[in-house]
Amino acid sequence: MPTLERLRADHADALLAFERENREYFARSIPDRGDAYFDPAGFAARHAALLAEQDAGICHFHVVLDADGRLVGRVNLVDVEDGSAELGYRVGELAAGKGVASAAVAEVCRVAGTAYGLTSLIAVTTLDNPASRAVLERNAFIAVEDITLDGRPGVRYRRSPVGH
């Protein structure tokens, strides 16, 4: 099963390589981040900014590593406030469909409650992303609201409590 690591400065190169390798794959289901995101200098600056947000306790960023130590995904908790955060995750094409996302989300839910003291998590996805919806539902997230996400019908999910 995958290993979850808190984002560190030394993850930057592997993270950029992961994002570049999976750019087309991710763009099939979510809006592309644009060419500037993939520029090494800009990416390094954004990575440093993420680490600063993490140090401030605003967000908790994680990478997902496979058994060989390769970066195969990301799981993030953003906008931490009043015991809650929004969950976001992405798994690369080569790891998709193998339970990696479900396992990584389960682990970040455990860590959210035990290490970060969070009591609830929110996640959103589009209706046309059944894999993402399945990951959330397998991890005890409950659909709470129909929404529009990037112009597409979607669902807001909530998990409370976390850490179990």
Asked if residues 60 and 85 have their Cβ atoms less than 8 Å apart, the reply is yes
- Into how many domains does the chain fold? 1
pLDDT bin (cut points 50, 70, 90) of residue 164 is low
Cα separation values, 69 from 14, 61, 92, Å: 11, 17, 14
Q: pTM above the 0.85 mark?
A: yes
Q: Is residue 47 part of a domain?
A: yes
- Give start and end residues of each alpha helix (H) in 5-74: 12-21, 23-27, 40-55
- Which has more confidence, 27 or 60? 60
Residues near 24 by beta carbon (within 8 Å), at least 6 away in sequence: none
- pLDDT tens track for 125-163: 999 899 999 999 999 999 999 999 888 899 999 999 886
Amino acid at position 84, single letter: S
- State which residues form the domain around 59: 3-159
pLDDT bin (cut points 50, 70, 90) of residue 27 is confident
- pLDDT tens track for 59-91: 999 999 999 999 999 999 999 999 999 999 999
CB atoms within 10 A of CB 83: 15
Q: Is residue 164 part of a domain?
A: no
Q: Among 95, 96, 73, 77, which residue's Cα sits nearest to residue 87?
A: 77
- What CATH number did the domain enclosing 139 receive? 3.40.630.30
